[in-house]
Amino acid sequence: MALFSKKTTLVHNITYMAIMTAINLIFIVLDTFVPFLMFLLILLLPFVSAVVSYFCQKRYYIIYAVASAGLCLIFNIPDTIFYIVPALCSGFVIGLLLDKKIHPFWMILSSTLIEVALTYAFIPLINLMTNTDMVSTFLTIFGLQNFAYKEELMHLFILFIALTQCSITHFVLLTEIKKLGVETDTRVASFIPYIIGLFACLAIGVIFAFTYKPLSLAFVALSFYFAVFLLIDIVLAKHIWSYVILGVTMLAAFIVFVIFFTKIEKPMGFMLFGLFPLAICLTSFVKIFLCNHRDNN
């Protein structure tokens, strides 16, 4: 039975899911007894579930999810809820979107947001069930329990881990299915949704800066995900004028950053990093406008 191939029979599906369930169990056991391996392991968790979701028939996935969660709960309740369950959910979404051949950008983003949302949802549950502050425990591992901006750091870390997990999973799976002759559509009909998404992240970040400051930096960080994609498009377009516009906007962003960074109360000065994705966003918008104007003429 090939590791990366579609499973069509009940026996192949059950056997494959049993193997992947065992891998999840090994992960949680290692995490329980060898804690320093935790971060290496959690990066791989969504990949295991995504493989099951994509290569096995979807109607059997619930069996795999229940078996994985149930067995892992025996060894470590908090880490199973905090790591395994979100990975099971995001992995299923990844496999589903791969089947639908959704653009990789949106696959990574949607699965990341699902993982982040579930992580936040389960933190109070873990605290209630185990009478332990999961966030404080996590910060203590790194000796950051007395760090002045530990709450901001925690929000950034949750986003970073989820985005890294989903990115690794997508890139590995896309590479493997490409070997099977399965192609994912990477064409982009319009970059406007990406521009709107970037601007929305920055706008939400500003709103949280006045309402709940610790979460604002996470949305600024998320805007860089959109910015990288738009920047790649600007570079690949090979328009000299777009490079000039990008240089001017980035220089302006840098000047504003230097002038105001030390004048804004910490850690909110880091919100000014959002000026750089904003510069890329503006450049992309001008590029689209000028290209459309040229095509219409």
What's the 3-state SS for 213-267? HHHHHHHHHHHHHHHHHHHHHHHHHCCHHHHHHHHHHHHHHHHHHHHHHCCCCCC
Q: What is each CA distance from 179 to 82, 137, 174, in whole angstroms?
A: 33, 43, 9
Distance separating alpha carbons of residues 196 and 214, to the nearest angstrom: 23
pTM: predicted TM-score of the whole model, two decimal places:
0.81
Burial letters for 15-26: b for 16+ Cβ neighbours within 10 Å, e otherwise? ebbeebbebbbe
Q: What residues contact residue 134 under an 8 Å CB cut-off, 6+ apart?
A: 78, 82, 123, 126, 127
pLDDT tens string 64-85:
999 998 988 888 787 788 788 8
Model confidence at 102: pLDDT above 90: no
Query: In the prediction, which pLDDT does 293 show?
Result: 60
pLDDT at 189 over 80: no
What DSSP line would sit under 17-39, residue for residue? HHHHHHHHHHHHHHHHH-GGGHH
How far apart (Å, rounded) are the C-alpha atoms in residues 86 and 84?
6
| Eight-class DSSP state of 131 | S
- For 178-205, what is the mean pLDDT? 79
- The structural domains of the chain, with segments of one domain joined by +, span 10-179, 192-296
Residue 219 pLDDT > 90:
yes
Which pLDDT score is estimated for 262? 84
What are 117-146's pLDDT values in tens digits? Answer: 988 888 777 777 766 666 666 666 666 666
User: Mean pLDDT throughout 241-253?
Assistant: 91
The answer to whether 21 and 64 have CB atoms below 8 angstroms apart is: yes
Q: How does residue 179 score in pLDDT terms, banded at 50, 70 and 90?
A: low
Give yes or no for a contact between 95 and 182, defined as CB atoms under 8 angstroms apart.
Answer: no
- Distant-in-sequence, close-in-space partners of 20: CB < 8 Å, separation ≥ 6: 48, 49, 51, 52, 64, 68
Nearest partner of 111 among 123, 96, 99, judged by Cα = 96
